[in-house]
Amino acid sequence: MSIVSEIERVLDNAERVNGDLNSFLSVERTSALEQAAALDTSSDATPLKGFAIGIKDNICVKGMQATCGSRILGNYKAHYDATAVERLKAAGAVIVGKTNMDEFAMGSSNESSAFGIVKNPWDTERVPGGSSGGSAAAVASGVVRAALGSETGGSVRQPASFCGIAGLKPTYGRISRYGLVAFASSLDNIGIFGQRVPDVANVLSVIAGRDPLDSTSADVEVPDYVAELTGDINGKRIGIVRDLIGEGLDADVKNSIEDAIDNLKKLGAVPVDITLPHAKYGIAVYYIIATAEASSNLARFDGVRYGFRSEEAEGLREMYMRTRDEGFGAEVKRRILLGTYVLSSGYYDAYYAKAQKVRALIKQDYIEAFKTCDAILTATSPTTAFKIGERLDDPLAMYLSDIFTVSANLAGVPAVSIPCGLASDGMPIGLQLVGNFWGEAEILRIASAYEIAFPLIGKPSVFVG
Amino acid sequence: MDVKHVAKLAHIAITDEEAAIYGPQLAGIVEYIEQLNTLDTESVEPMLGGLTVEGEATRTIRADDVRPSFTVEEATGQAPDPVAGHFRVPKVL
């Protein structure tokens, strides 16, 4: 079968499911078919030849829109490829579309997109998670085998958990952020969704590694992650944090995580008790550092150089202020306000400086923990996917749902979420494996062994297979 | 928190209605984040940025040579009001 006919099938599927899910903000038929035709005539054997992939709409693809789910960038088109995208194209992957997201990646439910909410393929009355909800729904509904998302506090792992697929947040510095629109630069990562762990490993092998265009990308050797999926996890020490499998966790999630520990034992892994004494402060630290950095990064959206400009204003200052009020949605404004407040004169030491100190303690907890274990197991989210609208009026409750994911971003360590069963409401449950710095291969190996031995039984109601 | 004042610092012209919604929400979040004050961090060195040890060690200075960049048309063409290679803005004074 030709790559063109395969990509045509993917594009048709993307358009078909979009009516139900709103997972794609754009389906890029023309460029995808051009790319596919070129691949059909090329004799080069590249690692992802003809592999269809979706890209979150805050990652730049030359000539395609990059709205970040925001009205303020509603008509913006990227002038260049993100490094991750350039590497995907060079490897023969075909970009089929830009995926929906929470505005500027701020949200845990994909309800803050300016271009409509995304629905969960398992139950269209529920959220897909966020902020990379469009990418997660596109993969879970079977349209693409993999998609890129971005992570600042769990925005790949939590939607992967809610949609029953694999989702990886790499070590900070593992994947170049060049071409990823900045939200909170010291926490942001490009992440990868896959229907299965090998899909994630395949894409990671291609896009990981030092990039001179991102000074925070690190010069660390990139293994062949697919070759690392040996299936052998005998003797692996799995760190269990007893405090995190207690109150606050839904009963079904708790049971499922306890079953997962038993399942890993059957595969030869050895659970060991560890502690992360400062993990409980993660949300507080996160919402200081992330909002502070966001208030600075998002200052560039002012109606001068690109995007939306308010027509109402007289004078420059009023133009800035109205453009930003009309162009940003409520969640983005709330976070910019919080970030501005914690950085404002007289409050810096009490909030931002304090948070950076506690962040150091959280990182130190991980360094200590990995002296006695190879990976740490937790639930990815305390609940399964919630109903659309359920948490919209209570931002703090929404933030608290990131309790298990944010600390990996604060420390900089990698983490993967894979499905580990269905709850009584029929929705997938995710287990999270957190790895040591640069230990993506280790957690992907454990995740892959788990998904082979204990595959998720069941299929989303919206699935094109 | 004086929400209107903070919004002015952030260059966002929020309405009274918005201030009435965000005020209590932000107060709740600030109360939550203040739990950090229960921790003694006197002797802790703050973590600046997100770099790992390996990231810190990575050489980031590039060769000082000329590379292609965006054209003026690319750099200004998507502005709301581009004029002759410049960005036009409402009057400042």
Q: Which of residues 231 through 290 in chain A touch B, CB cutoff 8 A?
A: 278, 281, 283-285, 287-288
Task: Look up A461 and say whether it is catalytic.
Answer: no
Inter-CA distances, B53 with A217, A260, A411, A442, Å: 12, 33, 12, 19
How far the first Cα of chain A sits from its last, in Å, is: 17
Facing B62 at nearest CB: one of A171, A212, A220? A212
Task: Look up A119 and say whether it is catalytic.
Answer: no
Q: Taking all residues of chain A, what is their mean pLDDT, rounded to a whole number?
A: 96
Sketch the domain layout of chain A as residue ranges. 3-282+353-453
- The answer to whether residue B84 sits within a structural domain is no
For the segment A127-156, what is each residue's pLDDT rounded down to a tens digit? 999 999 999 999 999 999 999 999 999 999
Is pLDDT above 80 for A422?
yes
* Residue position matching structure tokens 């579309």: A97
Task: Decide if the complex's ipTM is over 0.85.
Answer: yes
Is pLDDT above 80 for A312?
no
Is pLDDT above 90 for A188?
yes
Task: Report the domain count for chain B.
Answer: 1
Q: Report pTM.
A: 0.97
In this prediction, residue A139 carries a pLDDT of: 98
Nearest-CA distance from B60 to chain A in Å?
6
Inter-CA distances, A73 with A79, A287, A324, Å: 14, 24, 11
Cβ-based burial of B24 (10 A; exposed 0-12, middle 13-18, buried ≥19): exposed
As a whole number of angstroms, the distance between CA A286 and CA A426 comes to 31
**Taking residues A88-106, what's their average pLDDT?**
98
* Contact assignment for B80 to A359 by CB distance below 8 Å: no
In this prediction, residue B79 carries a pLDDT of: 96
In this prediction, residue B92 carries a pLDDT of: 86
Positive/negative CA dihedral, A185, A154, A114, A35: positive
Least confident of A138-147, A307-316, A362-371: A307-316
We find that the CATH architecture of domain A3-282+353-453 is Alpha-Beta Complex (3.90)
Task: Look up A42 and say whether it is catalytic.
Answer: no
Range of the domain at B14: 1-37
As a whole number of angstroms, the distance between CA A70 and CA B16 comes to 23
Q: How many CB atoms lie within 10 A of CB A227?
A: 10
- The answer to whether residue B15 sits within a structural domain is yes
For the segment A223-260, what is each residue's pLDDT rounded down to a tens digit? 999 999 999 999 999 999 998 877 788 999 999 999 99
Q: What is the mean pLDDT of each run of 10 residues along chain B (93 residues)?
A: 96 95 95 95 93 93 90 94 94 83
Nearest-CA distance from A198 to chain B in Å?
26
Closest-CA residue of B relative to A341 is B6
Chain B partners within 8 Å of A318 (Cβ)? 13, 90
Instruction: List the catalytic residue out of A108, A155, A176, A448.
Output: A155
Closest-CA residue of A relative to B92 is A316
As a whole number of angstroms, the distance between CA B68 and CA A53 comes to 29
* Contact assignment for B44 to A360 by CB distance below 8 Å: yes
